[in-house]
Structure 1
Amino acid sequence: MNRSAGRRTRLDSRLNSLQTPLFLLDASRTVVFFNQGCEQVLGWPAEEILGQTCDYAVDTDPEECESVCNLLCPPPEVFQGTRSEVPRFLLTRSGKTIPCVVRYTPLVDEQNRTRLVLGIIDRIEEPHKLPSASAAQQLHVELAALRLSLRNRFRFSTVIARNAVMQRVLRQLELAAHSREPVHFQGEPGTGKEHLARALHFESEQRRKIFVPLNCQKLPPRELKQTVKKIFEKDLDESMPLEPGVLYLAQIDHLSRDVQEIILENIQPQRQMETVRLMTACSCSLNELFEQEKLLPDFYYLITTLQIHIPSLRERKEDLELLAQHYLENENRYQQKQVSGFAPGVLSLFHDYYWPANLDELSQIIQAAFQATTETVITRDSLPLRLMSGMDARSLGPALPPLIKPLEQTLQQVETEQILQALEQAKQNRTEAARLLGLTRAKLYRRIEALGIPLDEDS
């Protein structure tokens, strides 16, 4: 055996046997080394981790090795040659959370290109207090901490909720997960009603059945009626190979009364264990729909069993930065390009914006900025024009109210303008001008004198 090859083998063996947890990633973020120290800390054997690709994104599923790998991923700037110490909450295979700091060292070749990244894991007491972490890294840690906390408390780790109203929503979802009662989601467009309905479904006993979303406004009435019938009759085709578990109806203010009757015929208290669960959503008040007779009385009482109000993004500003980081890290998944956070000033700009389309708009803005940026952070220059235009429109402020003049002054001005216009049209013939104004010649003279209108005496 070649002597140098033997030395490398011995070195690999020594590094592998170390109790200090260390790992190596190549330039494509693939795990190429994962020693026994990492195995002992994280509870995953090397053979299941090696070859996995890491993305800079928070995951909270202890049963997926992808979650472990993503939590080990360094910030993108490390691959540009920057050493970094990053606070992290790592997740073991048993589900235990480990606060630590991961120290990343880029290993470069003769052209100063990063070929490998060495990561060393040090357990610490409180990752939030690491002074060397950047603002973007701290936000990444806060997002991980919140998602892990929500997973432990409510089991809903995909819902970002630091806001008190959203915490109440999670408590309602937790209660709803243990029942089969209909649930109605109320909130402005874009507040994430369908996402919450899906999260509820996948935490319920029906999770192995499929979630069927139907938009009552977008689907033609006949197609909607036929689809609802098929779902309850279980007359399914190849597009729906599994049994439905939830029927989610969005925009129920457009739901016809005959479809409501079909639902009422199939969803009855004594048959709830035999049929699909009903979830509904709309942006307007159910009481108003009921008063306008758009909802049948029995259908109204059915869907108001459990109502969950979803706040707008404007009402949960304390969640805004974490939501932005969450959407950004979702863009990182399975992409060669990785973006770690936001440049100074971007998040404060987000706080100043009104977000009329709520979470949907925030997600679209982040997606567009991710595609546009050429840096490792989102900058103001990478933000889409529609956001900046919206900011400029709001900075102009409301239109100034019209100036109110004294009524007498306004009437005199209008009367003077009308008399002068009539005289001009009548070519200064006062008899004709009086006729145009519907006045006698004498009355016209009196008004001209009272208003002080100068006249050519020769006319």
Structure 2
Amino acid sequence: MNRSSGRRTRLETRLNALQTPLFLIDATRVILFFNQGCERIIEWPAEEILGQTCDYAVDTDPEECESVCNLLCPPPEVFEGTRSEVPRYLLTRSGKTIPCVIRYTPLLDDQNRTRLVLGTIDPIDEPHKLRSATASQQLHAELAALRLSLRNRFRFSTVIARNPAMQRVLRQLELASHTREPVHFQGEVGTGKEHLARALHFESEQRRKIFVPLNCKKLPPRELKQTVKKVFEKDLDESMPLEPGVLFLDEVNYLSRDIQEIILENFQTKSQAQTVRLMTACSTPLNELFEQEQLLPEFFFLISTLQIQVPALRERREDLDLLAQHFLENENRYQQKQVSGFAPGVLSLFHDYFWPANLDELAQVIQSAFQSTPETLITRDSLPLRLLTGMDARSLGPALPPLIKPLEQTLQEVEKDQIQQALEQTKHNRTDAARLLGLTRAKLYRRIEALGIPLDPDA
């Protein structure tokens, strides 16, 4: 046996037996080593972790190997040769949350390129902020802490909610998850109503059935009607072999009365256990639609049983930084390029912006910036032009109101200007000027004198 090979085997055996949690990740983010100390603290066997690729993204499912691996992923700047000491919240297989510090050391080759990253895990008693951690690393840890906390409290870890109004939404979702009553989501376009409906579905007893989203505005009426019938008759095509569990109707204000009648008939003729759960969404309050007779009375009372008001992004400023980090880490998933956070000043720009399209717009801005940035941080230069243009437009402020002058003064200025133009056009021939203005020569003289218009002495 080769002597150096034997030494490597003995060293690996010794490192593996250490109680200090150690792991190794290569430059492509594949986990190569995961010792017994890691197995003990995270409760996952090495054979299930080794060979997995990790992404710089927060996950909170203790039953998924991907979640564990992602929580071990180094920040992107480590692969550029920067040592980092990062606060983290690890999730064990049994569902426990462990606050810790992970110390990442890049191991360089002879050309100063990072070939491996050594990670050591140091559990701590309480979460704390590290002076050595960057702002983006702290935000990553805060996002993990919040998502784990929401998973423990409400079971909805994919909904970012530090804002009080969003905390109320989570409490309503938790109550709704124990029933099969219709739920209506009220809020502006882009506030994430469909995402909330999906989160509710996947935390309910219907989670193994499919979620069927239909946009009442975009689908042609005939196609919409046929699809609704198929959903309630459970007669979907082969592409949807599972039984439908939820029918989600977005832009319900565009739902025709005959389709409303089909839905009502289904609920009146079938028991609750046999009925597909109905969820609806709209940006216009249901009461207004009812008063405008866009909704049948019975349909209005059916879908207004439980209404959840979803706040606009500008009303949840406490969530904005975490939402931006959440969308950014979603972009990291399954990508070779990884971006850790935002350069100084970028999040401040986000707070100054109005976000008229809400979460949809924020997600699109992050996606565009992720694709544009060549760095490990999103900078102002990588932000899309439409955001910067919108910021500049807001900084200009509203148009100034026109200056209002006394009416008589305005009329005199207009009259004086017209007379002067007529005189110039006729080379100060007062007879011709009077004819252009529709005045007599005598009246023109009186107005010239009253307005103080100077006359050409040679005319």
The residue that corresponds to 2:105 in the other structure is: 105
Aligned twin of 2:119: 119
Question: In structure 1, how many angstroms separate the alpha carbons of the residues matched to 2:145 and 2:21?
Answer: 21
Q: Structure 1: which 5+ residue stretches go unaligned?
A: none
Kindly indicate whether residue 169 of structure 2 is the aligned counterpart of residue 169 of structure 1: yes
Partner Cα separation in structure 1 for residue 114 and residue 171 of structure 2? 47
> Do the aligned partners of 2:60 and 2:147 also contact (CA within 8 Å) in 1?
yes
2:353 paired with 1:353: yes
Give the distance between the partners of 2:443 and 2:376, measured in 1 at CA: 81
Residue 77 of structure 1 aligns with an amino acid whose one-letter code is E
Specify whether residues 322 and 412 from structure 1 end up closer, same or farther in structure 2 by C-alpha distance, changes over 3 A only. Answer: same
2:404 alignment partner in structure 1: 404
Report the CA distance between 1:426 and its aligned residue: 7.4
- TM-score, normalization: structure 1? 0.95
**Matching of residues 325-340 of structure 1 within 5 Å:** 325-340=325-340
Task: Tell me the secondary structure at the aligned position of residue 127 of structure 1.
Answer: coil
Provide the C-alpha distance between the structure 2 equivalents of 1:139 and 1:458, rounded to a whole number of angstroms: 82
Q: Deviations over 1:183-213 (max 9, x none)?
A: 1111111111110010011011111111111
Shift in Å at residue 384 of structure 1?
1.4
Question: Equivalents in 2 of 1:434, 1:375: separation in Å?
Answer: 74
Q: Aligned partners of 1:342 and 1:445: how far apart in 2?
A: 73
Q: Which residue of 2 aligns with 1:90?
A: 90
Given the superposition, is the C-alpha separation of residues 110 and 420 from structure 1 closer, same or farther in structure 2, using an over 3 Å criterion? closer
CA contact (8 A) 1:249 1:280 kept: yes
The residue that corresponds to 1:372 in the other structure is 372
Aligned partners of 1:201 and 1:246 also within 8 Å: yes
Counterpart of 1:296 in structure 2 is 296
Note if contact 1:187-1:310 (Cα within 8 Å) is conserved in structure 2.
yes
Q: How far apart, in 1, do the equivalents of 2:129 and 2:320 lie?
A: 22
Counterparts of 1:170 and 1:283 in 2: how far apart (Å)? 19
Identity of aligned residues (%): 83
Q: Which residue of 1 aligns with 2:135?
A: 135
TM-score by length of structure 2 reads 0.95
* 1:15 and 2:12 aligned: no
Distance 1:330 1:349 in 2: 21
Does residue 211 of structure 1 match 2:211?
yes
2-side partners of 1:130 and 1:339: how far apart? 21
Where 2:147 maps in the other structure, the secondary structure is helix
CA contact 1:101–1:127 (8 Å) conserved in 2: no
Check if 1:381 corresponds to 2:381. yes
Secondary structure of 1:290's counterpart equals helix
Q: CA deviation at 1:30?
A: 0.8
CA shift, 1:450, in A, is: 2.9
Mapped to 1, the partners of 2:367 and 2:408 lie a distance apart of 59
Name the amino acid aligned to 1:235: D
Q: What is the count of residue pairs matched by the alignment?
A: 459
SS in 1 for 2:102: strand
1:120 is paired with a residue whose SS is strand
Aligned-residue offset at 1:61: 0.2
After TM superposition, list the pairs within 5 Å mapping 1:143-158 onto structure 2.
Answer: 143-158=143-158
| Pairwise CA distance, 1:160 | 0.4
Q: Any conservation in 1 of the 2:215–2:250 contact (CA below 8 Å)? A: yes
Amino acid across the alignment from 1:121: I
**Structure 1 partner of 2:265:** 265
Distance in 2 (alpha carbons) for counterparts of 1:26 and 1:433: 91
**Conserved 8 A contact 2:84-2:103:** yes
Following superposition, the deviation at residue 102 of structure 1 comes to 0.8
Q: Tell me by how many angstroms 1:114 deviates.
A: 1.4
Q: CA deviation at 1:294?
A: 1.2
Q: Determine the C-alpha separation between the residues in 1 that align with 2:444 and 2:115.
A: 97
Q: CA deviation at 1:241?
A: 1.8
Q: Distance in 2 between matches of 1:404 and 1:234?
A: 67
Partner of 1:6: 6
SS in structure 2 of the partner of residue 323 of structure 1: helix
Per the alignment, do residues 458 and 42 of structure 1 end up closer, same or farther by CA in structure 2, a change over 3 Å counting?
closer
SS in 1 for 2:128: helix
| Deviation readout 1:330-355 (Å, 9 max, x if unpaired) | 11111111111111111111111111
2:46 is aligned to 46
CA RMSD after TM alignment: 2.0
Does residue 309 (structure 1) correspond to residue 309 (structure 2)? The answer is yes
Q: Which residue number in structure 2 is paired with residue 222 of structure 1?
A: 222
Residue number in structure 1 paired with 2:277: 277
Find the counterpart in structure 2 of residue 188 from structure 1. Answer: 188
Which stretch shows the higher mean deviation, 315-324 or 388-397?
388-397
In the TM superposition, what is the alpha-carbon distance from 1:418 to its structure 2 partner?
Answer: 3.8
SS in 1 for 2:119: strand
